[in-house]
Amino acid sequence: MRDWLPASDPVWLVISVVAGLDTSPLHAQRRTGGAGRAGYDPDMLLTLLIWAWAHGVRSSRVIERLCQRDVAYRIICAGDTPDHVTISRFRADTAQVVEELFAQVLMLCAGLGMGQLGVVAVDSVKIASNASLAANRTEDGLHKAAAEQAQIDAQRAREVAAAAAAQHALTDAAEDEMYGPGRRGDELPAELVDERSRAARIAQALAELHADTAAHSAEGDDIAERQRDRQQRQQQRKQAKLDAYRRQRADRGSAPVGKPPTEIRIEVLTENLAAAQA
């Protein structure tokens, strides 16, 4: 897997940072039937959540899908994909611990000079305290200002982590309601999973599509035919009126009294103009 992404990819840094954290509370819950009770390493599940939250992912179902399709997620779980139920249960069982550890990762990445981790601007976690530093030139003053700044930075990191955890919990609850707790929501129907039945179903769908296209084409032909018939009848009625008008003019020796019917007015006026010019 080391060949899947370059050493400069941030996923390797996150994996290394998490490896250096004290994750004993997660392992303690695992021994009591909590985190990772499905047989997955709590450190791996923790890294998945941290990486997902840093990239704006707030859905256990999406994380499961990414573990199957995205290289960074596959590296984190070493190809052993946990399902969304395991991920969601781990998140719920360890919410406070994971929040605190995520905040620590943000602080560590900021301290290591990372400007951004995923979509989280980690350098914004560290709020500049130039005013305090400028006002305290003594060694004690600088230590005090640094301590105060560390508290501000830690609080900011905890707020970012708490927001991510809360959004994830709301998303999982909404998707459980929508799809059912055990379903991811994007599963293929059973007949599309097996290659042979999938090919047959696709062939059937294509046949239905072609039949619908032919039906629409036939319907279009019928509409065109009806339109031609209607135009032909209109032309016949127009010609009958024009013939009647011409007979009246021939019998009278002049144009009939009154305006010609609207349908034939152009033809009559054209004929009258031609007769006058003759």
d(Cα 98, Cα 171) in Å, to the nearest integer? Answer: 17
Q: Quote the domain boundaries for residue 214.
A: 192-277
Domain-located, residue 262: yes
The mean pLDDT value for 177-193 works out to 83
Q: Specify the DSSP class assigned to residue 176.
A: H
Question: 174 with 255, same domain?
Answer: no
pLDDT value, residue 32:
46
- Evaluate if residue 132 carries a pLDDT over 60: no
The pLDDT, as a whole number, for residue 143 is: 61
| Contacts for 59 with CB less than 8 Å, ≥ 6 apart | 84, 168, 171, 172, 175
| pLDDT > 70 fraction of the chain, expressed in percent and rounded | 83
Q: Are residues 77 and 196 in the same domain?
A: no
DSSP 48-69: HHHHHHHTT---HHHHHHHHHH
Q: Which of 146, 167, 187 is the last residue of a domain?
A: 187
Res. 201: pLDDT tops 60: yes
Same domain, 26 and 77: yes
209 lies in the same domain as 249: yes
Residue 211 lies in a domain: yes
Could you tell me if residue 77 is inside a domain? Answer: yes
pLDDT score at 153: 74
pLDDT value for 48: 96
Looking at the structure, tell me whether residues 183 and 196 fall in a common domain. Answer: no
Residues 177 and 46 occupy one common structural domain: yes
Say whether both 102 and 178 belong to one domain.
yes
CA-based nearest residue to 47, from 8, 75, 25: 75
- Average pLDDT value for residue range 113-141: 64
Residue 3 forms part of a structural domain: no
Give residue 33's pLDDT band: very low, low, confident or very high (50, 70, 90).
very low
C-alpha–C-alpha distance, residues 120 and 123, integer Å: 9
Higher pLDDT, 33 or 148: 148
Domain co-membership, 220 together with 258: yes
Q: Which of 161, 187, 213 is the last residue of a domain?
A: 187
Length of the chain: 278
Q: Rounded to an integer, what distance in angstroms lies between the CA atom of residue 121 and that of residue 231?
A: 70
Mark whether 59 and 156 lie in a shared domain: yes
pLDDT at 126: 54
Domain C-terminal end among 170, 187, 204: 187
| Two structure tokens written together for 204 | 């059937």
Q: What is the pLDDT of residue 36?
A: 47
Q: How many domains does the chain have?
A: 2
- Residue 190 tokens, joined: 């059973």
Listed in sequence order, the residues at least 6 apart from 142 whose beta carbon sits closer than 8 Å to its beta carbon are: 133, 136
- If asked whether residues 100 and 220 sit together in one domain, one would say no
Backbone angles phi, psi at 41, to 5 degrees: -65, 125
| Predicted confidence (pLDDT) at residue 124 exceeds the cutoff of 80 | no
pLDDT, average across residues 220-227:
76
State the pLDDT at residue 192: 83
Question: Which residues touch 47 (CB under 8 Å, ≥6 apart)?
Answer: 14, 15, 18, 76
Percent of the chain with pLDDT over 90: 34
State whether 20 and 124 are in the same domain: yes
The values of phi and psi at residue 142, to 5°, are -65, -40
pLDDT the model gives residue 145: 62
User: Is residue 258 domain-resident?
Assistant: yes
Please report, for residues 9, 36, 208, the alpha-carbon distance to residue 184 in angstroms, rounded to integers and kept in the order given.
29, 20, 29
Query: Stretch 102-128: mean pLDDT, rounded?
Result: 78
Q: Is residue 79 part of a domain?
A: yes
37: in domain:
yes
In a domain, 2, yes or no: no
User: pLDDT class for 4, splitting at 50, 70, 90?
Assistant: confident
Tokens of 203: 């062939």
If you search the block for the tokens 């009294």, which residue do you land on? 257
Residues 111 and 170 reside in one and the same domain: yes
- Residue 92 has a pLDDT of 93
